[in-house]
Amino acid sequence: MKIGILIGIIIIVASGAFLVKKFIKDDRSFPDVEDTQAPSYQAVKDEQRAPRDPAVLPPAVSQPSNTNTPPSKQVESSASKKDIEKSIQAIKKSTGEVSGYNASAQSFNEHEEL
Amino acid sequence: MKSYKCTISIVFFLVAALTAPLASFGITYESYQQNLPSRIDAGISKINALKTQIQTNPDISADTKQQTVAALDAVEATLIAYQADITEATTLKEIQALNQEILAYFIQNKDVLIEQIKIVVADLGAQLAAETQELIQEIEQLLVILKKTCPKQAATITEIETQLAQLESLGAQLSAAVKAKSTAQIKSLMNAITALSEDLVKNIELIEAECVVKLP
């Protein structure tokens, strides 16, 4: 009789311990009284598990590191010889413009007084 | 009799002494009429030369041209008005007063040309800084390709990368100098950026000759 009661208590305690452990593992908590509008735990979990809409997935091809560059100036890494030469010409043109601005600035003498 | 003659001599001396000071220094109504307009003309010539230099420069932005030329126009208009006043002045007193006024105006506005030059140089510096950023981006993109297509040019590519880092630093310094309107510093940095970008192009041309032209 006593052994039966003891076994019964052990089973109840073990079951309780198991339930408490499972509860902690799932990070469940009781909602606050004011938090009744919040989505249920299961709804959040379901949403996290649901597959994303392909339209909102990031593109498979990585973007160029410098996003400030105008698209027309982007050069693909697989550019042809013609594209490379075109790119070099653009660099030479920019360098020419830099020289032009410099020559203009140097032509003004700041020691001029009325 | 002797004392009478002496008295007349003294009176003549005093009259001459009182009326002569301006004439004895060559400062007469005529001298003012002659010298003042020529001094104003010299000022107007300087203003006009600077205005032409600004207006004919294709690199200066339209806003800066408008702002600086308007400031110079205002000074020029005042000087032209003074020229008319000098022509109309009929007495030495009037012209002396005008001389004082013009002198004060020159002292007050002596730096007006320098100020306009500072504005122009800052404008050109800002444009060069923007062009430098564009140049850096263009070279960075080219390097990505050259690393793949011209791997044998690794040494030159590394040198270009070093130069590019220097160019970025100079560009940032130039932007700061433009904000501070430090004309001497702006000019010095513009010189340094120009020299460095020309060296960069030489290295790119080297890779072009050694590798790019040989590509299929």
* Å between B6 CA and nearest CA of chain A: 53
Q: Looking at B13-17, B26-30, B33-37, which range is the least confident one?
A: B13-17
* Å between A56 CA and nearest CA of chain B: 28
CB-CB neighbors (< 8 A) of B184 in chain A: 110
CB-based burial label for A95 (10 Å; 0-12, 13-18, 19+): buried
Does the pLDDT of residue B66 top 50, yes or no?
yes
Residues 6+ away with beta carbon under 8 Å from B143: B157, B160, B161, B164
pLDDT tens figures, B88-124: 999 999 999 999 999 999 999 989 999 999 999 999 9
Cβ contact, residue pair A88, B117, below 8 Å? no
Helix (H) or strand (E) segment spanning residue A85:
helix A81-106
**Confidence at B8, pLDDT banded by 50, 70, 90:** low
Cβ contact, residue pair B142, A88, below 8 Å? yes
Q: Which residue segments constitute the domains of chain B, with CATH numbers given? A: 26-110 (1.20.81), 117-214 (no CATH)
Q: Are B22 and B28 in contact (CB under 8 A)?
A: yes
Q: Tell me, what's the pLDDT at A2?
A: 67
Distance, in Å, from the CA atom of B103 to the CA atom of B86, rounded to the nearest integer, reads 13
Cβ contact, residue pair B145, A113, below 8 Å? no
The tally of domains found in chain A comes to 2
Q: Looking at A92-101, B14-23, B182-191, which range is the least confident one?
A: B14-23
Q: Tell me, what's the pLDDT at B141?
A: 95
Q: Which residue of B has its CA nearest to A79?
A: B145
Distance, in Å, from the CA atom of B13 to the CA atom of B93, rounded to the nearest integer, reads 24
CB-CB neighbors (< 8 A) of B75 in chain A: 114
Alpha carbon B105 to chain centroid distance?
A: 19
Distance, in Å, from the CA atom of B156 to the CA atom of B167, rounded to the nearest integer, reads 16
Residue A21 lies in a domain: yes
Residue A94 lies in a domain: yes
Residue A5 lies in a domain: yes
**Confidence at B154, pLDDT banded by 50, 70, 90:** very high
Residue A15 lies in a domain: yes
* Å between B190 CA and nearest CA of chain A: 6
Longest dimension (CA), chain A: 119
Q: Are B135 and A94 in contact (CB under 8 A)?
A: yes
CB-CB neighbors (< 8 A) of B110 in chain A: 113-114
- For A4, the domain range is 1-30
pLDDT tens figures, B174-194: 999 999 999 999 999 999 999
Q: Which of A78, A108, A109 to mutate to test the interface with B (most CBs of B within 10 A)?
A: A108
Q: Tell me, what's the pLDDT at A69?
A: 44
Interface A:B, Cβ pairs < 8 A: 133
| Nearest CB neighbour to B144, from listed A77, A83, A105 | A77
Q: Tell me, what's the pLDDT at A93?
A: 96
Predicted complex: ipTM over 0.90: no
pLDDT tens figures, A30-82: 444 444 444 444 454 444 444 433 333 333 333 334 444 444 444 445 578 89
Distance, in Å, from the CA atom of B117 to the CA atom of B68, rounded to the nearest integer, reads 8
Q: Looking at A43-57, A67-81, B35-49, B135-149, which range is the least confident one?
A: A43-57
Residue A2 lies in a domain: yes
